[in-house]
Amino acid sequence: MKFETKLIHGGQSEDQATGAVSISVYRSSTFHQYELGGNPKWEYSRTGNPTRAALEALIADLEGGVAGFAFASGSAAIHATFSMYSAHDHFIVGSDVYGGTFRLINKVLKRFGLEFTVVDIQDLAAVENAIQDNTVAIYFETPTNPLLQIADIAAITKIAKKHKLKTIVDNTFATPYNQRPLELGADIVVHSATKYLGGHSDVVAGLAVTSDEKIAEKLAFLQNSIGSTLGPDDSWLIQRGIKTLGARMRVHHANTEAIIKFLENDDRVARILYPGLPDFPGHEVAKKQMDHFGAMISFELQEGLDTKKFVESLKVISLAESLGGIESLIEVPSVMTHGSIPREIRLENGIKDELIRLSVGIEDEEDLINDLKQALDKIG
Ligand SMILES: Cc1ncc(COP(=O)(O)O)c(C=O)c1O
Ligand SMILES: N[C@@H](CCSC[C@H](N)C(=O)O)C(=O)O
């Protein structure tokens, strides 16, 4: 089955009880057990729910894993994944990660004794040099939020395997439409399904997928034990969103190409970060491991231009956190999505105060470009 067909018919796409082509929402907390001490398929919705299970089967299918797990948010999926490990286990983490992941690591996981070394994930020698006797896994995003840095997944998983480490990839920005890390050797993929997978900015959800049966057992245990599971209504929304992922991504990509051309030709734009640009540092690796370069763009305006006024002057594009929805969203990471990272660390990692991140939606491309133009005209 081709990927675009899998989006619609993959996993478990029909309701098994009725044949309904849209999976039913099983809004039941518990299930009648007809035999005491039997082994029922469904017992309690935290442990397993048919609507959530359909989504979990679908994401496992799309990422090429053996099992998928749905959580109440991307952060919950990441938390459950790190919960497989114990105090004094050491992780190598990419320096550019979503601010909330940085916060989870530094303010929560470290308190439970997990240890972390932050490295530039583009630098393979730095990754290998950071390995210690107690290192258990390498965790990174690619493309990263918000600098869109590209990590070489195949090369990193090769290093990981050599040292018997696991590789965990946050595939939120790429989505399985553009990139499938498990096929490149990763052990676990995590997602903020809040973004492209849901696709309509109307649900917060997270997913984890693994290619390893033993990890799948651990994640199933932790999902049930921690209990941060995704409810049936939200599971249904994510499955519905995924059905149109291919159609949406084609428009996201076309609009992004047009906006990149516009930004490249405007003197008021100083720097554009986008993996599809031939002179972008990660371009060659992105070309190798991604089917398309995605629809996230970061950029900086020329020094002295008023970033605040620019983002506040947009009329079609909304100033808002989040990304991957049908509507275009713009934000300033230093103040918004990455505000929880101390300024000196942020600057050290390359996130300037004035960096702007744009999530290109599927509106008419001319409307988006005209909106950017009128806002630029207000400041310079
Ligand atoms: C790359 C990335 N990973 C994980 C998360 C966390 O996801 P959620 O907001 O669904 O908890 C986000 C954003 O929130 C993100 O941008
Ligand atoms: N205020 C939130 C930040 C949400 S950021 C959402 C998303 N990951 C993005 O990058 O836009 C918080 O403090 O967690």
pLDDT of residue 380: 84
pLDDT band at 125 (very low <50, low <70, confident <90, very high): very high
Q: How confident is the model at residue 192 (pLDDT cuts 50, 70, 90)?
A: very high
Task: Answer yes or no: is the C-beta of 146 below 6 A from any ligand 1 atom.
Answer: no
Q: What average pLDDT does the structure give for the chain? A: 97
Average pLDDT over residues 62-77: 98
HSE of 129, CA atoms in CB hemisphere, 13 A:
8
- Residue 75's pLDDT band (cuts 50, 70, 90): very high
Residue 16: band (very low, low, confident or very high) from pLDDT cuts 50, 70, 90: confident
What does R_g of the chain's alpha carbons equal in angstroms? 21
The ligand that comes nearest to the alpha carbon of residue 331 is 2
Distance from Cα 144 to the centre of ligand 2, integer Å: 14
SS3 53: helix
Full-model pTM:
0.98
Give yes or no for a contact between 74 and 193, defined as CB atoms under 8 angstroms apart. yes
Q: Which of 107, 337, 359 to mutate to test the pocket of ligand 2 (most atoms within 8 A of CB)?
A: 337
Which atom of ligand 2 is closest in space to residue 145's alpha carbon?
A: 10
Q: Which of 243, 242, 247, 248 is nearest to 328 (CA)?
A: 248
Structure tokens at 183: 């096929």
| CA of 205, nearest ligand number | 1
Q: How far is the CA of 340 from the centre of ligand 2 (A)?
A: 9
CA dist., res. 277 & res. 143, Å (int): 13
Q: What is the pLDDT of residue 68?
A: 98
Query: For position 294, what pLDDT does the model report?
Result: 98
Model pLDDT, residue 121: 97
Question: ipTM of this model?
Answer: 0.98
State residue 124's pLDDT score: 98
Mean pLDDT of 325-339: 97
Tell me: the pLDDT tens digits for 340-367?
999 999 999 999 999 999 999 999 999 9
| Alpha-carbon gap, residue 295 to 352, rounded angstroms | 21
Closest CA to 354 of 370, 340, 338, 371: 338
Those residues whose C-beta lies under 8 Å from the C-beta of residue 16, and which sit 6 or more positions away, are 50
**Catalytic residue numbers, as ranges:** 46, 98, 170, 195
153 alpha carbon to ligand 2 midpoint, in Å? 25
pLDDT of residue 292: 98
Rounded Cα–Cα distance for residues 148 and 273 (Å) = 7
Q: How far apart are CA 333 and CA 352, in angstroms?
A: 9
Phi-psi region of 188 (alpha: psi -120 to 50; beta: other; left: phi over 0): beta
The pLDDT value given to residue 176: 98
**pLDDT tens for residues 136-149?**
999 999 999 999 99
Considering every ligand atom shown, identify the ligand nearest to the alpha carbon of residue 329 and give its number. 2
- The predicted model gives 111-134 an average pLDDT of 98
Query: What integer is the mean pLDDT of 261-277?
Result: 98
Question: What does the alpha-carbon distance between residue 173 and residue 142 come to, in Å, rounded to a whole number?
Answer: 7
**Domains of the chain: residue spans and CATH:** 3-243 (3.40.640.10), 246-379 (3.90.1150.10)
Residue nearest (by alpha carbon) to ligand 2 atom 2 = 337
Q: Which mutation among 69, 195, 351 tests ligand 1's pocket best, with the greatest number of atoms within 8 A of CB?
A: 195
Q: For CA atoms 152, 154, 159, 161, give the dihedral sign.
A: positive
| CA 361/CA 200 separation, integer angstroms | 10
- pLDDT value of position 364: 98
Residue nearest (by alpha carbon) to ligand 2 atom 7: 322
The answer to whether the CB of 81 is under 6 A from ligand 1 is no
Does 71 sit in the ligand 1 pocket, CB within 6 Å?
A: no
Tell me if 355 sits within 8 A of 298, measured CB to CB: yes
> How far apart are alpha carbons 127 and 121 in whole angstroms?
7
Question: Buried b vs exposed e over 251-262: b needs ≥16 C-beta within 10 Å?
Answer: bbbebbbebbeb
CA of 190 to the centre of ligand 1 (A): 10
